Amino acid sequence: MALPWREVPAGESLRRVRAFRDTMARRRTIRDFSVTPVSMEVVTTAIRAAATAPSGANLQPWHFVVVTDPAVKRRIREAAEEEERAFYARRASREWLEALEPLGTDWRKPFLETAPVLIAVFEVHKSEQTPRPYYAKESVGIAVGILLAALHQAGLATLTHTPSPMRFLGEVLGRPAHERAFVLIPVGYPAAGARVPDITRKPDSEVLTVM
């Protein structure tokens, strides 16, 4: 089929990409959520944007579960905290714990109950039908990037949470064995007075080479 291409004039192109950069530069990961509800239509529309991501052989190896039920959120929190307790007490290396120190994280995950919405993202890692997905992690990673950008520019805050291991998530949410939990994203508004670590982003010279 013919490509439905919309041309963007050169000057407009730079204006748009700068605006997008500025918007994205304001995104911060939030761990302290308000209980204020969010629009389900905003959340599901952001997921539809995420599901436009490119994927290996266009197999679209993702599934998104939106959780708002307080009982399900509680079960997820309890299971995540059990894993995280073991991570902080035993599994994490000293080096890893030192790297996390500036973020101020610990095993407690109250945001899994306070955030009004949790989006559990699953990666289809093998298929009951052939073919098996190609580049599943890369594909789902791109989709999650689009999801975070969509939610952020819609005015919502997110946390990219990876309780480790995450096997419990598929069990609690009843996902099939050919799907693997990829990331858990609490979504909502920041709590009044929410604080974030004072982090910086690397300068161009470290992240960009033009040849």
Binding residues (CB under 6 A) for ligand IYR: these are 84, 87, 100, 103, 105, 161-164
Q: Which is nearer to ligand IYR, 62 or 87 (CB)?
A: 87
- Give yes or no for a contact between 118 and 187, defined as CB atoms under 8 angstroms apart: yes
Residue 48 in tokens: 């539809």
Residue 87 in tokens: 């991570």
Q: Which is nearer to ligand IYR, 55 or 182 (CB)?
A: 182
- Give yes or no for a contact between 143 and 203, defined as CB atoms under 8 angstroms apart: no
CB of 30 to ligand IYR, least distance (A): 13
CB of 158 to ligand IYR, least distance (A): 13
CB of 98 to ligand IYR, least distance (A): 12
CB of 165 to ligand IYR, least distance (A): 10
Q: Which is nearer to ligand IYR, 17 or 103 (CB)?
A: 103
Q: Which is nearer to ligand IYR, 6 or 201 (CB)?
A: 201
Between CA 183 and CA 75 the distance in angstroms is 16
Helix (H) or strand (E) holding 179: strand 179-188
Q: Which is nearer to ligand IYR, 133 or 182 (CB)?
A: 182
DSSP string, 8-70: --HHHHHHHHHHHHHHHHT--B-SSB------HHHHHHHHHHHTTS--GGG---EEEEEE--H
CB of 92 to ligand IYR, least distance (A): 7
Q: Which is nearer to ligand IYR, 6 or 94 (CB)?
A: 94
Q: Which residue number places its CB atom closest to ligand IYR?
A: 105
CB of 157 to ligand IYR, least distance (A): 16
Closest CA to 114 of 197, 183, 31: 31
The packing angle between helices 40-50 and 136-153, to 10°, is: 140
Between CA 186 and CA 154 the distance in angstroms is 15
